[in-house]
Structure 1
Amino acid sequence: MTENHVHASHPDVVKRLKRAHGHLANVIAMIEDHRPCGDIAQQLHAVERAISAAKKVVIHDHLYNCLDQVVGASAASARASIAEFKDLTKYL
């Protein structure tokens, strides 16, 4: 049975993904309309940024909520490793 993973960040993730979906639809239309490559590249960049932002929110949410629950009162070395990993995720 799958756990229900609902987090406060999910509405923000959905908003970001809908934005990316809109940008992608725009890119497709631009290509079909033979728009300039520079304009298309700019919109593709917007799609990438929106998806990347959504990915970061999901990963950080998992680390700060789900993973913290698992680690809980584990040994200090385990908590330190998780804290270090969390710090590294800022480079995603």
Structure 2
Amino acid sequence: MEEHRHETHPDIVKRLRRAEGHLKSVVAMIEDGRPCIDIAQQLHAVEKAIANAKRTLIQDHLDHCLEDMTGAMSREQRHSIDEFKAITKYL
């Protein structure tokens, strides 16, 4: 399989490593009997980091891979693609 990399991939890896660190700390917090509110806050940070990484990956894919696949388009066709890309930001 051909290597597939985008400019945003290093940033995504950083976000996921940060989420991995938060998740490890959540496990330790549970094992140490820390208060549920503290654990919930850390779980929220993990969720946000993963969601941001996913969003960045999807947007990057749409911005680059979809553009490469569709090539030149009319203004009307381009509008449909732009709307599709815009709505995916709400995933």
Query: Do they fold alike, i.e. is TM over 0.5?
Result: yes
The normalised TM-score by structure 1 is 0.91
Question: Equivalent residue for 1:31?
Answer: 30
> Aligned-pair distance for 1:80?
2.4
Question: Equivalent residue for 1:14?
Answer: 13
In structure 1, give the amino acid aligned to 2:83: E
3-state SS of paired residue (1:84): helix
Which sections of structure 2, spanning at least 5 residues, go unmatched?
A: none
Aligned-residue sequence identity (percent) comes to 62
> Aligned-pair distance for 1:41?
0.1
Deviations 1:24-67 (A, max 9, x none): 00000000001000000000000000000000110000000010
Distance in 2 separating the partners of 1:54 and 1:44? 15
Please, what is the CA RMSD of the aligned residues?
A: 1.2
Distance in 2 separating the partners of 1:27 and 1:38? 11
> Aligned-pair distance for 1:76?
4.4
Which sections of structure 1, spanning at least 5 residues, go unmatched?
A: none
